[in-house]
Structure 1
Amino acid sequence: MASKGDSKDKDGKGGGIMPLIIAAVLSIVIGVGAGYGTIVTFAPPKAPEAAAKPAAPPAADAKAAEAPAADAKAAGGHGAEGDAAATEEEQPPEPVDPADVAYTPIPPVITNVAEPPTVWLRLEGGITYLKSGEKKPDVLAGETAQQIVQYIRTIKLSDVEGHDGMQFLQDDLNDITRSLSNGQVQNVLISGLIVE
């Protein structure tokens, strides 16, 4: 005599373990795929292929360097000048002696933003600079404050909202002040930002 549970399994209407196994396998496959996608998306960039090649003898390097420069000049390119500029941009900055770095506060910066023009920002902070540079700290602080005013007048309030906005502001100010001070200003440090 067959029980009621056996008749349900034969008819295909019962629960069974097969749907549970299929669901488990699908969730594992989807999880592995999502994990792989995350790893591929956030993985650090691969090293350039040039670093993987074995070093060639110095004479071969000189000939190899001359050939692309000659080809670029013949093709109307920038030649060695363009290559030198590209390699300068790729090189990391030279290390700085910690004994040569000092801090000075900058005058508070109070100015309005580009949009909405009725909103005002007050930025307080300072700069780290190289003592061996040609400009004095008070001159650097004043020039940096002027550069910050000019930059803030070009941004929108939404550009500085949140953590990412503050990081972009910090990075932009660092880039601007370094380039305009010929590298004497190392960093702009923001100690306060008030929106009115």
Structure 2
Amino acid sequence: MAAAVKDAAAEGPPAKSGPSLVVQLGALVAMTIAAAGMGWVSGGFMTGEKSGSEAAAHAPAAAGAHGAKSEGGHGESGGHAETAPHGDTLVPLAAVTTNIASPSDVWVRMEVAIVLDEPQAHDLPGIVQQDLLSYIRTVKMHEIEGASGLRHLRENLQERAAIRSDGHVKQVLIRTLLFE
């Protein structure tokens, strides 16, 4: 028995199995470079998708929003229209405050601005706002939870506004969205 113990001790430590430390570090460096390259490429796609009119439409909405009341009874729903450099018109709508369909004790306050391809009749923003209000009242909480729910909400608001305006609304910008 003592001879068996001596033979095992004479062999030394068991041989390593698997790749060497140099191969592991090389794989780590290669994966890091690949990840950085994919991040750079996807960042280029994400910033390349914004059109100039979208960037111009965001600037006035964030820089100085006008009041939520109509000015002087001209029929606009939420303030003064601003003209973007590309001929688009940004029209902030009055805030929408209502409860949603389910659960009915949850209230939502939403401030929206629309981007029109050209100046339209003064009653168009009010018509679009009323349609968006009626849509928000049909929404259920589980439909708008998470990032995909918010994306679907934006798409639905965009579609309804485009239909209501005969295609003159190019974009719906959600400025604030608050649930209580």
TM-score, normalization by structure 2:
0.54
Give the corresponding residue for 1:151.
Answer: 135
Amino acid at match of 1:117: S
Residue 101 of structure 1 is aligned with which of 65, 88, 112? Answer: 88
Give the corresponding residue for 1:20.
Answer: 18
Runs of 4 or more consecutive aligned structure 1 residues displaced over 4 Å after TM superposition: 3-9
Give the corresponding residue for 1:193.
Answer: 177
Asked if 1:181 corresponds to 2:165, the answer is yes
Residue deviations 1:13-72, cap 9 Å, x none?
x5312x3249x89xx8xxx9xx9xxx9xxxxxxxxxxxxxxxxxxxxxxxxxxxxxxxxx
TM-score, normalization by structure 1:
0.50
Residue 125 of structure 1 is aligned with which of 112, 132, 142? Answer: 112
Give the corresponding residue for 1:46.
Answer: none
Q: Does the 8 Å contact 1:107/1:141 carry over to 2?
A: no
Q: Does the 8 Å contact 2:127/2:164 carry over to 1?
A: no
Task: Give runs of aligned pairs for residues 26-105 of structure 1, distance below 5 A.
Answer: 99-105=86-92
2: CA distance, partners of 1:113 / 1:4: 79
Task: Give identity over the alignment, percent.
Answer: 28
Unaligned runs of 5+ in 2: 1-5, 39-52, 54-83
2: CA distance, partners of 1:145 / 1:5: 84
TM-superposed deviation, 1:123: 0.6
Residue deviations 1:81-107, cap 9 Å, x none?
xxxxxxxxxxxxxxx995331111111
2: CA distance, partners of 1:150 / 1:113: 10
TM-superposed deviation, 1:7: 4.8
Two-structure CA RMSD over aligned residues (Å): 3.7
Q: Does the 8 Å contact 1:140/1:185 carry over to 2?
A: no
1: CA distance, partners of 2:149 / 2:9: 65
TM-superposed deviation, 1:8: 4.4
2: CA distance, partners of 1:108 / 1:124: 5
Amino acid at match of 1:152: I
Q: Does the 8 Å contact 1:128/1:187 carry over to 2?
A: yes
TM-superposed deviation, 1:193: 1.1
1: CA distance, partners of 2:96 / 2:141: 16
Amino acid at match of 2:129: A
Instruction: Using the TM superposition, name which of 101-110 and 149-158 deviates more.
Output: 149-158
2: CA distance, partners of 1:8 / 1:150: 82
TM-superposed deviation, 1:140: 1.9
Residue 161 of structure 1 is aligned with which of 145, 159, 162? Answer: 145
Query: Whose helix proportion is higher, 1 or 2?
Result: 1
Q: Does the 8 Å contact 1:111/1:153 carry over to 2?
A: yes
Q: Name the larger-Rg structure.
A: 1
2: CA distance, partners of 1:6 / 1:191: 74
